[in-house]
Amino acid sequence: MKYIDIPPVWLLLFLGIAWWQAVYFPILSLESGLTDLISGVLIGGGLVLMMLAFVEFRKHKTTAVPHETPTQLIQSGIFKRSRNPIYIADMLLLAGFILRWDAIISLALIPLFLWVIEKRFVIPEEDRLRRKFRVQYAAYCRKVRRWI
């Protein structure tokens, strides 16, 4: 079950709901060149942010898997700006695809996705990091915000 309970699965579920809404209930439309541009920036930004985070995980030779305990506390690169850049990237991807598919009503999924991710992954991850890295993690939390 823990292999199914990972953030990409939740992202795919929310993307599926948004796509379904766009196809079967296209109630509102913001379709324009501007929304295409914004959606492209959001999707591209999400992918870049995710790549920057994974580069740091690889550089520090620690896990990016949410249910595992990392061997290193990453405080460099994109992690100087946010403690959760991959989850921010997930939200950017969700928002970007919602706009790309013109599933405007599904924008309401973004705060719900944030809530699920925070409860299922962020809080338990922070608890593991707090237990493992204690003082170092407390100092990091004082310097870097959870989101942005």
User: For the segment 59-87, what is each residue's pLDDT rounded down to a tens digit?
Assistant: 999 999 988 999 999 999 999 999 999 99
Q: How far is CA 10 from CA 64, 112, 117, 134, in A?
A: 16, 11, 8, 29
Q: Taking the alpha carbons of 144, 98, 18, 4 in that order, is the dihedral positive or negative? A: negative
Give the CA dihedral 127, 62, 43, 111, nearest 10 degrees: -10
Contact call for residues 83 and 144 (beta carbons, < 8 A): yes
Write down the mean pLDDT value for the chain.
95
pTM here is: 0.93
